[in-house]
Structure 1
Amino acid sequence: MAGSRLEKFGTVFTRVRDLMRAGVIKQSEKPVWFDVYAAFPPKRDPLYVKPARELRGKRSREDVVPDIFYKEDDIRAKFFEVYGNGPRAFDLSKANFVSTCQRFVEKYSELESRGDVEKEVLFHETAKALLAEGIVLRRRGGPMVATELRDPVLDMKLTDMLAEQQKDSADETQGEQTQTQTTENQMSP
């Protein structure tokens, strides 16, 4: 398959494309990602760099990929936690598209660099500044209220109402029975 070779002979995309041209992979069997990659190719082609040779067969340290975090990752995480993805999808067909989250991060960085806003209220001030610019941010819905908490109150009220109705209907039937008995007594002599 195309994925068994190293990338030094071409990218996975070019190998799959060439296999499709040669007829090895049919058009109906092409990978799901192929059309997306063809529509939105990377700005730089992936480059295979041959790893450096090991000296004397020993490694000085483990080949571990370190976690990469940027300072705006915390801002983005809090933004998505509070506001979610938003009502609109990302428009990847426009090269200059800027998402609401990216605008929020840029405004946050701008307000932070000024230094006139305290760290505690900076997040809310950023939302207010974007609102002043005409960008409406909608908070995610709050946590759902558990129905178990609301049901006993509703059940109690409903049972009270049903008890009152049954009592009223019982009183009415007794009243009707006494009226029929009195009318029967008056008619019988």
Structure 2
Amino acid sequence: MAGSRLEKIGTIFSRTSGLIQTGALNFEDRPLWYDIYKAFPPKEEPKYDRPIPNMKLKQIFYKEDKIRALFHRNNKQIGAINLFSAGKSITQRFIDTYVTLLEQYKDREEVSEEQLYKEAIDILNKGHQLQRDTALDSETISLSSAYKEARRKMNNINLKDIFQ
């Protein structure tokens, strides 16, 4: 037996409005997006049979995306990131180091991408060893202690404050 073909009749907003009007759906049980859609309707209704607009999509790539991809391709086991730390992630530190080296060697054409990568990794490893020795590395925090810290911070949040 074939599935429902109701998606071809009207829009999701008109179908939801119909359910609310007939009482099949309580107004209090309406979806979260319903009020937003009602306040800010789209310029063109998203109908099933609307033709696809013929427009060129922009490529959204930043300069550091290529560097980030190179780093993550070669370093698959980076570990957890503590989102509560004020310091930079290891990926961001690598990008900063790589860009700094790129600026230093921009006049030299014989420096390859691989050489820059190796030198940036060496600098990061030296810096990482120094931080371990001085116990300042924020990324060596264990997952369990990071979880405990996050739970402690979550306990201080009042839901009334969020919705005001």
User: Considering the TM-score relative to the shorter chain, is it more than 0.5?
Assistant: no
TM-score by length of 2: 0.43
CA radius of gyration, larger in: 1
Tell me: higher relative CO, structure 1 or 2? Use CA pairs within 8 A at least 6 residues apart: 2
Tell me the TM-score normalized by structure 1: 0.38
